[in-house]
C-alpha cells in the first residue's frame, strides 16, 4: 500500500470513529420533548395558572386588532397595544402614555 492510500484509509477510519462516537453521544443525550411528563407537576402548573389574577382590558382605536384582552397585572399600555397587534399608521403615539399601567376595565 502506498502512502496516499494509507492516508486515505486513515482519514476514512477517523471519520468513521467520529460518526460512531457522535451517534453514541446522540443516543445517550436526553432529547427535548421525550421526557415523560409528571402528572402532578402538570396539575400544579394548571392550578397556578388558574389562580393567577388577570385583567380584562378593551383595546380600541388605531390598533391592528381592537378587542377584549386578558392581561397580567402590572403590565403597561404599551403591552396592551402590542397584544392588539400594535398601532396602525394612522395612530398618534404622542396621544397615549405608553408607560401607564393598565387597570381592570379601563
Give the tens place of pLDDT for each residue, 36-59.
566 777 677 767 666 666 788 888
DSSP notation for 10-33: HHHHHHHHHHHHHHHHHHHSPPTT
Please compute, for residue 13, the number of CA atoms within 13 A of its CA located in the half-sphere on the CB side: 6
pLDDT in tens, 6-33: 888 888 888 888 888 777 776 655 555 5
The domains of the chain are located at 3-35, 38-106
Amino acid at each position: 500500500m502506498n502512502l496516499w492510500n494509507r492516508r486515505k484509509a486513515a482519514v476514512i477510519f477517523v471519520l468513521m470513529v467520529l460518526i460512531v462516537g457522535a451517534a453514541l453521544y446522540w443516543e445517550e443525550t436526553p432529547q427535548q420533548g421525550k421526557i415523560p411528563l409528571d402528572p402532578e407537576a402538570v396539575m400544579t402548573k394548571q392550578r397556578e395558572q388558574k389562580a393567577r389574577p388577570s385583567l380584562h382590558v378593551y383595546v380600541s382605536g388605531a390598533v391592528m386588532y381592537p378587542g377584549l384582552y386578558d392581561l397580567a397585572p402590572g403590565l403597561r399600555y404599551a403591552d396592551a397595544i402590542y397584544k392588539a397587534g400594535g398601532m396602525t399608521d394612522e395612530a398618534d403615539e404622542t396621544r397615549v402614555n405608553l408607560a401607564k399601567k393598565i387597570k381592570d376595565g379601563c
